[in-house]
Amino acid sequence: MKKIRKAVFPVAGLGSRFLPATKVSPKEMLPIVDKPIIQYAVEEAADAGITDMVFVTGRTKRSIADHFDKAYELENELKTRGKEDMLKIVQDTVPKGVNCIFIRQAEALGLGHAVLCAEPVIGDEPFAVLLADDLIDPNGFGSVVAQMADVYNYNRCSVLGVMDVPREETKQYGIVSTERNEGDTQRCTGIVEKPSPDQAPSTLAVVGRYILTPHIFEHLRTLRPGTHGELQLTDAIASLMRDEAVLAYRFKGTRYDCGNKLGYLKAMVELGVKHAEVGAEFSEWLAQRGH
Judged by the rule CB under 6 A, the positions of this chain that interact with ligand UTP are 10-17, 56, 105, 108-111, 113-114, 131, 133, 259
User: Based on CB atoms, which residue is closest to ligand UTP, 15 or 253?
Assistant: 15
Strands (E), 73-213: 99-104, 127-130, 134-137, 158-164, 174-178, 185-193, 204-212
Three-state SS at 9: strand
Residue, CB closest to ligand UTP: 13
User: Based on CB atoms, which residue is closest to ligand UTP, 137 or 193?
Assistant: 193
User: Based on CB atoms, which residue is closest to ligand UTP, 148 or 231?
Assistant: 231
Distance CA 56, CA 103 (A): 5
- The DSSP 8-state label assigned to residue 255 in this structure reads E
Distance CA 172, CA 236 (A): 18
Nearest distance, CB of residue 16 and ligand UTP, angstroms: 3
Nearest distance, CB of residue 262 and ligand UTP, angstroms: 13
User: Based on CB atoms, which residue is closest to ligand UTP, 60 or 254?
Assistant: 60
Residue 23: CA count within 13 A, CB half-sphere: 3
Nearest distance, CB of residue 133 and ligand UTP, angstroms: 6
Distance CA 263, CA 36 (A): 15
User: Based on CB atoms, which residue is closest to ligand UTP, 16 or 288?
Assistant: 16
Whether residue 63 contacts residue 22, with contact meaning beta carbons closer than 8 Å, is answered with no
Nearest distance, CB of residue 61 and ligand UTP, angstroms: 9
User: Based on CB atoms, which residue is closest to ligand UTP, 45 or 157?
Assistant: 45
For residue 2, give the nearest of 157, 227, 171, 204 by alpha carbon.
157
Distance CA 242, CA 190 (A): 9
For residue 55, give the nearest of 92, 86, 99 by alpha carbon.
99
Nearest distance, CB of residue 123 and ligand UTP, angstroms: 20
Nearest distance, CB of residue 125 and ligand UTP, angstroms: 20
